[in-house]
Amino acid sequence: MPGFLLLILVVILALVFDYVNGFHDTANAIATSVTTRALSPRRAIILAASLNFLGALSGTAVAKTIGNSIIKPGMVDEKVLILALAGAISWNLFTWYFGIPSSSSHALIGGLIGASVAMFGYHSVNWPGLGTIVFFLIASTVMGLMVGALVMTVLSRVFRGASPNRMNRTFRRLQVLSACMMSFSHGSNDAQKSMGIITMALLGAGHISTFRVPFWVMLACATAMGLGTAAGGWRIIATLGSKIFRIEPINGFAADFSSSVVIYTASVMGYPVSTTHVVSSSIIGVGCAKQMTAVRWETARQLVTAWLITIPSTAFISLIFCKLLELCIGSHI
Protein backbone atom coordinates (compact mmCIF):
# COMPACT_ATOMS: atom_id res chain seq x y z
CA MET A 1 0.00 0.00 0.00
CA PRO A 2 1.45 3.42 -0.93
CA GLY A 3 2.78 5.50 1.94
CA PHE A 4 0.22 8.26 1.46
CA LEU A 5 -2.68 5.81 1.77
CA LEU A 6 -1.11 4.35 4.92
CA LEU A 7 -0.88 7.85 6.36
CA ILE A 8 -4.56 8.48 5.57
CA LEU A 9 -5.44 5.19 7.28
CA VAL A 10 -3.50 6.23 10.40
CA VAL A 11 -5.43 9.51 10.54
CA ILE A 12 -8.77 7.73 10.10
CA LEU A 13 -8.01 5.11 12.77
CA ALA A 14 -6.73 7.77 15.18
CA LEU A 15 -9.99 9.69 14.81
CA VAL A 16 -11.98 6.45 15.23
CA PHE A 17 -10.00 5.77 18.42
CA ASP A 18 -10.77 9.31 19.58
CA TYR A 19 -14.48 8.80 18.83
CA VAL A 20 -14.57 5.45 20.65
CA ASN A 21 -12.62 7.01 23.51
CA GLY A 22 -15.30 9.71 23.68
CA PHE A 23 -18.28 7.40 24.14
CA HIS A 24 -16.24 4.88 26.14
CA ASP A 25 -15.20 7.57 28.64
CA THR A 26 -18.36 9.69 28.67
CA ALA A 27 -19.08 8.12 32.04
CA ASN A 28 -15.98 9.77 33.48
CA ALA A 29 -17.54 13.19 33.23
CA ILE A 30 -21.25 12.64 33.82
CA ALA A 31 -21.87 9.35 35.65
CA THR A 32 -22.18 10.90 39.10
CA SER A 33 -24.29 13.88 37.99
CA VAL A 34 -26.70 11.62 36.06
CA THR A 35 -26.91 9.15 38.96
CA THR A 36 -27.83 11.87 41.47
CA ARG A 37 -30.17 13.54 38.93
CA ALA A 38 -28.23 16.77 39.07
CA LEU A 39 -28.40 16.67 35.27
CA SER A 40 -30.73 14.88 32.89
CA PRO A 41 -28.96 12.41 30.60
CA ARG A 42 -29.57 14.62 27.57
CA ARG A 43 -28.21 17.79 29.20
CA ALA A 44 -25.28 15.87 30.68
CA ILE A 45 -24.30 14.50 27.26
CA ILE A 46 -24.52 17.95 25.60
CA LEU A 47 -22.47 19.52 28.39
CA ALA A 48 -19.84 16.77 28.30
CA ALA A 49 -19.51 16.87 24.50
CA SER A 50 -19.11 20.66 24.44
CA LEU A 51 -16.57 20.84 27.25
CA ASN A 52 -14.64 17.84 25.91
CA PHE A 53 -14.29 19.71 22.61
CA LEU A 54 -13.02 22.87 24.31
CA GLY A 55 -10.67 20.92 26.56
CA ALA A 56 -9.16 19.17 23.56
CA LEU A 57 -8.13 22.54 22.12
CA SER A 58 -6.45 23.71 25.34
CA GLY A 59 -2.92 22.41 24.72
CA THR A 60 -0.56 19.84 23.18
CA ALA A 61 1.84 18.91 26.01
CA VAL A 62 0.36 15.41 26.40
CA ALA A 63 0.52 14.83 22.62
CA LYS A 64 4.26 15.57 22.69
CA THR A 65 4.79 13.05 25.47
CA ILE A 66 2.89 10.36 23.57
CA GLY A 67 4.84 11.13 20.40
CA ASN A 68 8.31 11.16 21.94
CA SER A 69 8.34 8.90 25.00
CA ILE A 70 6.99 5.45 24.04
CA ILE A 71 8.62 4.40 20.76
CA LYS A 72 12.14 5.41 19.77
CA PRO A 73 12.06 8.09 17.04
CA GLY A 74 13.60 5.96 14.27
CA MET A 75 11.23 3.07 14.88
CA VAL A 76 7.93 4.79 14.08
CA ASP A 77 6.16 4.07 10.81
CA GLU A 78 2.57 3.98 9.62
CA LYS A 79 2.20 0.20 9.98
CA VAL A 80 3.19 0.30 13.66
CA LEU A 81 0.64 3.02 14.34
CA ILE A 82 -2.11 1.21 12.40
CA LEU A 83 -1.54 -2.00 14.38
CA ALA A 84 -1.40 -0.09 17.67
CA LEU A 85 -4.66 1.74 16.97
CA ALA A 86 -6.37 -1.47 15.82
CA GLY A 87 -5.45 -3.16 19.10
CA ALA A 88 -6.55 -0.20 21.23
CA ILE A 89 -9.86 0.22 19.41
CA SER A 90 -10.63 -3.51 19.68
CA TRP A 91 -10.00 -3.50 23.43
CA ASN A 92 -12.08 -0.36 23.97
CA LEU A 93 -15.04 -1.85 22.11
CA PHE A 94 -14.72 -5.13 24.03
CA THR A 95 -14.67 -3.44 27.45
CA TRP A 96 -17.43 -1.00 26.44
CA TYR A 97 -19.70 -3.87 25.37
CA PHE A 98 -19.32 -5.54 28.77
CA GLY A 99 -19.58 -2.27 30.70
CA ILE A 100 -16.02 -2.42 32.04
CA PRO A 101 -14.54 1.06 32.65
CA SER A 102 -11.04 0.24 31.44
CA SER A 103 -8.44 2.79 30.40
CA SER A 104 -8.20 4.08 26.83
CA SER A 105 -4.76 5.45 27.72
CA HIS A 106 -3.55 2.03 28.81
CA ALA A 107 -5.08 0.53 25.68
CA LEU A 108 -3.19 2.90 23.39
CA ILE A 109 0.10 2.50 25.25
CA GLY A 110 -0.24 -1.29 25.18
CA GLY A 111 -1.05 -1.19 21.48
CA LEU A 112 2.04 0.91 20.74
CA ILE A 113 4.25 -1.47 22.72
CA GLY A 114 2.86 -4.61 21.07
CA ALA A 115 3.00 -3.19 17.54
CA SER A 116 6.54 -1.83 17.82
CA VAL A 117 7.86 -5.04 19.38
CA ALA A 118 6.15 -7.12 16.69
CA MET A 119 7.65 -4.99 13.92
CA PHE A 120 11.10 -4.06 15.23
CA GLY A 121 11.77 -5.98 18.45
CA TYR A 122 12.08 -4.99 22.10
CA HIS A 123 14.82 -2.43 21.42
CA SER A 124 12.28 -0.25 19.56
CA VAL A 125 10.53 0.71 22.81
CA ASN A 126 11.80 3.74 24.73
CA TRP A 127 11.76 1.90 28.06
CA PRO A 128 12.92 4.82 30.28
CA GLY A 129 10.29 7.12 28.76
CA LEU A 130 7.65 4.41 29.08
CA GLY A 131 8.64 3.88 32.71
CA THR A 132 8.04 7.56 33.46
CA ILE A 133 4.60 7.42 31.83
CA VAL A 134 3.64 4.27 33.76
CA PHE A 135 4.82 5.90 37.00
CA PHE A 136 2.47 8.86 36.44
CA LEU A 137 -0.38 6.55 35.42
CA ILE A 138 -0.04 4.83 38.79
CA ALA A 139 0.63 8.03 40.74
CA SER A 140 -2.41 9.78 39.28
CA THR A 141 -4.63 6.88 40.34
CA VAL A 142 -3.27 7.04 43.88
CA MET A 143 -3.70 10.82 43.89
CA GLY A 144 -7.31 10.45 42.77
CA LEU A 145 -7.96 8.15 45.73
CA MET A 146 -6.23 10.44 48.22
CA VAL A 147 -7.66 13.73 46.94
CA GLY A 148 -11.16 12.22 46.75
CA ALA A 149 -10.94 11.04 50.35
CA LEU A 150 -9.52 14.39 51.50
CA VAL A 151 -12.14 16.54 49.72
CA MET A 152 -14.97 14.33 51.02
CA THR A 153 -13.60 14.50 54.57
CA VAL A 154 -13.38 18.30 54.44
CA LEU A 155 -16.90 18.65 53.00
CA SER A 156 -18.33 16.29 55.61
CA ARG A 157 -16.88 18.37 58.43
CA VAL A 158 -17.86 21.71 56.92
CA PHE A 159 -21.46 20.63 56.30
CA ARG A 160 -21.87 18.53 59.45
CA GLY A 161 -25.30 19.16 60.89
CA ALA A 162 -26.69 20.70 57.71
CA SER A 163 -30.17 19.74 56.58
CA PRO A 164 -29.92 16.75 54.19
CA ASN A 165 -32.52 18.22 51.83
CA ARG A 166 -30.80 21.58 51.69
CA MET A 167 -27.39 19.97 51.24
CA ASN A 168 -28.66 17.80 48.38
CA ARG A 169 -30.14 20.83 46.59
CA THR A 170 -26.89 22.79 47.00
CA PHE A 171 -24.61 20.05 45.76
CA ARG A 172 -26.86 19.14 42.84
CA ARG A 173 -26.25 22.68 41.60
CA LEU A 174 -22.54 22.43 42.31
CA GLN A 175 -22.40 19.14 40.41
CA VAL A 176 -23.13 21.04 37.20
CA LEU A 177 -19.91 22.99 37.80
CA SER A 178 -17.90 19.89 38.71
CA ALA A 179 -19.24 18.04 35.64
CA CYS A 180 -18.04 20.96 33.47
CA MET A 181 -14.62 20.81 35.11
CA MET A 182 -14.42 17.06 34.65
CA SER A 183 -15.47 17.21 30.98
CA PHE A 184 -12.94 19.93 30.17
CA SER A 185 -10.10 18.10 31.92
CA HIS A 186 -11.03 14.85 30.16
CA GLY A 187 -10.79 16.53 26.77
CA SER A 188 -7.52 18.24 27.73
CA ASN A 189 -5.84 14.88 28.33
CA ASP A 190 -7.51 12.16 26.29
CA ALA A 191 -7.95 13.93 22.94
CA GLN A 192 -4.27 14.79 22.90
CA LYS A 193 -3.34 11.12 22.70
CA SER A 194 -4.77 10.85 19.19
CA MET A 195 -3.13 14.16 18.32
CA GLY A 196 0.19 12.62 19.31
CA ILE A 197 -0.39 9.57 17.09
CA ILE A 198 -1.31 11.62 14.01
CA THR A 199 1.63 13.99 14.54
CA MET A 200 3.97 10.98 14.88
CA ALA A 201 2.73 9.75 11.50
CA LEU A 202 3.11 13.16 9.87
CA LEU A 203 6.64 13.51 11.23
CA GLY A 204 7.62 9.99 10.16
CA ALA A 205 6.28 10.59 6.65
CA GLY A 206 8.21 13.85 6.34
CA HIS A 207 5.15 16.12 6.14
CA ILE A 208 6.40 18.14 9.14
CA SER A 209 10.00 18.72 10.20
CA THR A 210 9.54 18.96 13.98
CA PHE A 211 7.06 17.49 16.44
CA ARG A 212 4.49 20.27 16.40
CA VAL A 213 0.77 19.45 16.41
CA PRO A 214 -0.91 21.20 13.43
CA PHE A 215 -4.11 23.08 14.23
CA TRP A 216 -6.15 20.93 11.84
CA VAL A 217 -5.09 17.86 13.85
CA MET A 218 -6.20 19.53 17.09
CA LEU A 219 -9.53 20.50 15.54
CA ALA A 220 -10.15 17.05 14.02
CA CYS A 221 -9.36 15.24 17.28
CA ALA A 222 -11.45 17.67 19.34
CA THR A 223 -14.38 17.12 16.98
CA ALA A 224 -14.05 13.32 17.05
CA MET A 225 -13.86 13.36 20.85
CA GLY A 226 -16.91 15.63 21.09
CA LEU A 227 -18.97 13.50 18.70
CA GLY A 228 -17.98 10.32 20.53
CA THR A 229 -18.97 11.85 23.83
CA ALA A 230 -22.32 12.85 22.36
CA ALA A 231 -22.91 9.19 21.48
CA GLY A 232 -22.84 8.33 25.19
CA GLY A 233 -21.68 5.25 27.03
CA TRP A 234 -24.50 4.08 29.22
CA ARG A 235 -23.09 0.66 30.16
CA ILE A 236 -20.07 2.24 31.85
CA ILE A 237 -22.14 5.07 33.32
CA ALA A 238 -24.12 2.42 35.20
CA THR A 239 -20.92 0.90 36.63
CA LEU A 240 -19.32 4.15 37.78
CA GLY A 241 -22.55 5.77 38.87
CA SER A 242 -24.05 3.09 41.05
CA LYS A 243 -22.03 -0.11 41.37
CA ILE A 244 -19.08 1.21 43.42
CA PHE A 245 -21.23 2.73 46.16
CA ARG A 246 -24.49 4.66 46.54
CA ILE A 247 -23.59 8.19 45.41
CA GLU A 248 -25.32 11.26 46.81
CA PRO A 249 -24.87 14.80 45.42
CA ILE A 250 -22.11 15.74 47.87
CA ASN A 251 -20.22 12.56 46.97
CA GLY A 252 -20.62 13.18 43.25
CA PHE A 253 -19.31 16.73 43.58
CA ALA A 254 -16.32 15.58 45.66
CA ALA A 255 -15.42 12.83 43.16
CA ASP A 256 -15.73 15.02 40.05
CA PHE A 257 -13.90 17.97 41.61
CA SER A 258 -11.04 15.75 42.80
CA SER A 259 -10.74 13.96 39.46
CA SER A 260 -10.74 17.15 37.40
CA VAL A 261 -7.97 18.72 39.52
CA VAL A 262 -5.73 15.65 39.21
CA ILE A 263 -6.34 15.19 35.47
CA TYR A 264 -5.94 18.82 34.44
CA THR A 265 -2.75 19.12 36.50
CA ALA A 266 -1.37 16.14 34.59
CA SER A 267 -2.43 17.71 31.28
CA VAL A 268 -0.58 20.95 32.06
CA MET A 269 2.52 18.95 33.05
CA GLY A 270 2.30 16.95 29.81
CA TYR A 271 1.63 13.51 31.29
CA PRO A 272 -0.99 11.18 29.82
CA VAL A 273 -3.12 9.71 32.60
CA SER A 274 -6.08 7.40 32.64
CA THR A 275 -9.17 9.51 33.23
CA THR A 276 -11.08 6.28 33.91
CA HIS A 277 -8.62 5.25 36.62
CA VAL A 278 -8.57 8.68 38.24
CA VAL A 279 -12.37 8.96 38.29
CA SER A 280 -12.84 5.42 39.62
CA SER A 281 -10.21 5.86 42.33
CA SER A 282 -11.69 9.23 43.31
CA ILE A 283 -15.13 7.63 43.70
CA ILE A 284 -13.59 4.86 45.81
CA GLY A 285 -11.72 7.46 47.90
CA VAL A 286 -14.93 9.42 48.45
CA GLY A 287 -16.73 6.21 49.43
CA CYS A 288 -13.98 5.28 51.91
CA ALA A 289 -14.16 8.73 53.51
CA LYS A 290 -17.92 8.33 53.86
CA GLN A 291 -17.80 4.77 55.20
CA MET A 292 -15.48 1.89 54.30
CA THR A 293 -18.35 -0.58 54.29
CA ALA A 294 -20.28 1.60 51.81
CA VAL A 295 -17.86 0.67 49.00
CA ARG A 296 -18.74 -2.42 46.99
CA TRP A 297 -15.26 -3.91 47.08
CA GLU A 298 -16.04 -6.66 44.61
CA THR A 299 -16.75 -4.05 41.93
CA ALA A 300 -13.61 -2.17 42.95
CA ARG A 301 -11.60 -5.39 42.64
CA GLN A 302 -12.96 -5.95 39.13
CA LEU A 303 -11.96 -2.41 38.17
CA VAL A 304 -8.41 -2.95 39.46
CA THR A 305 -8.18 -6.21 37.53
CA ALA A 306 -9.23 -4.46 34.33
CA TRP A 307 -6.63 -1.75 34.95
CA LEU A 308 -3.84 -4.32 35.39
CA ILE A 309 -4.59 -6.41 32.31
CA THR A 310 -5.26 -3.63 29.79
CA ILE A 311 -1.67 -2.85 28.70
CA PRO A 312 -0.59 -6.50 28.26
CA SER A 313 -3.91 -7.37 26.61
CA THR A 314 -3.76 -4.63 23.98
CA ALA A 315 -0.06 -5.30 23.40
CA PHE A 316 -0.93 -8.94 22.72
CA ILE A 317 -3.85 -8.01 20.44
CA SER A 318 -1.65 -5.69 18.35
CA LEU A 319 1.03 -8.37 18.13
CA ILE A 320 -1.58 -10.92 16.97
CA PHE A 321 -2.84 -8.48 14.31
CA CYS A 322 0.74 -8.18 13.06
CA LYS A 323 1.18 -11.95 12.82
CA LEU A 324 -2.18 -12.33 11.06
CA LEU A 325 -1.13 -9.77 8.46
CA GLU A 326 2.15 -11.64 7.97
CA LEU A 327 0.23 -14.86 7.33
CA CYS A 328 -2.11 -13.10 4.90
CA ILE A 329 0.65 -11.70 2.71
CA GLY A 330 3.12 -14.54 3.22
CA SER A 331 6.05 -12.46 4.49
CA HIS A 332 7.04 -9.94 7.15
CA ILE A 333 5.05 -6.75 6.67
Please tell me the distance from the alpha carbon of residue 117 to that of residue 5, in angstroms, as a whole number.
23
Q: Are 63 and 190 in contact (CB under 8 A)?
A: no
* Number of Cα atoms under 13 Å in the Cβ half of residue 111: 28
pLDDT of residue 241: 47
The number of domains in the chain is 1
Length of the chain (residues): 333
The sign one gets for the Cα dihedral 43, 248, 266, 298 is negative
pLDDT tens per residue, range 261-300: 999 999 999 999 988 889 888 888 888 887 776 677 776 6
Cα dihedral value 189, 173, 240, 223, nearest 10? -40
CA-nearest of 16, 12, 10, 8 to 227 is: 16
- Expressed as residue numbers, the domain containing 195 is 3-329
Percent of the chain past pLDDT 90, that is, above it, reads 45
pLDDT interval class at 233 (50, 70, 90): low
What is the spatial distance between Cα 59 and Cα 280, in angstroms, rounded to a whole number?
Answer: 25
Going from the C-alpha of 205 to that of each of 71, 78, 115, 202, the distances in angstroms are 16, 8, 18, 5
Lowest mean pLDDT among 127-131, 318-322, 327-331: 327-331
Q: What is the pLDDT of residues 107-120, one digit of tens each?
A: 999 999 999 999 99
